[in-house]
Amino acid sequence: MNKVDEEFFVKQVCRHLDASIAHLTLSIEQSLTQARQAALLQNAHLAQAVSSKLNEEIGLVGTAEDIELYDNLEFYLWLAENESLIL
C-alpha cells in the first residue's frame, strides 16, 4: 500500500467511525472519552516502565570495552583453560 492509498484508507476509516458514533448520547460520548483518556494514561505509564527497565538492561551490557571482551570471549576462555601450559 503506497502513501496515497494509506492516507485515503485512514480518512475513510475515520469517516466511518465518526458516522458510527453520531447517534450516541452526550453522556455515552463523555464516558467513552474518559475511558480513552484513562487507557492512554495507563499506556503512557506502561511505556515509561518498559523504557526504564530497558535502560537498566542496556546499562548492564556496558561499554564498548565490555563488548570487545565478549567478541573475544572464546579466546579468553581458551586462555583460562590453558594458562598453566603458557606460564
> What digits encode the pLDDT tens for the residues 11-68?
999 999 888 888 889 899 899 889 989 998 998 888 888 888 887 777 666 666 666 7
Q: What whole-number distance in Å separates Cα of residue 31 and Cα of residue 24?
A: 11
Domain of 29 in residue numbering reads as: 3-61
Give me the number of domains the chain comprises: 1
DSSP 24: S
Q: Is residue 41 part of a domain?
A: yes
Q: Is residue 47 part of a domain?
A: yes
What is residue 1's DSSP assignment? -
* pTM of the predicted model over 0.85: no
- Summarised one tens digit per residue, pLDDT across range 21-37 is 888 898 998 998 899 89
Per the domain annotation, does 68 fall within a domain?
no
Would residue 78 count as lying in a domain? no
Residue 54 lies in a domain: yes
Question: Among candidates 7, 29, 8, which has minimal Cα distance to 18?
Answer: 29
Please give the span between the terminal C-alpha atoms of the chain, in angstroms, as a whole number.
Answer: 65
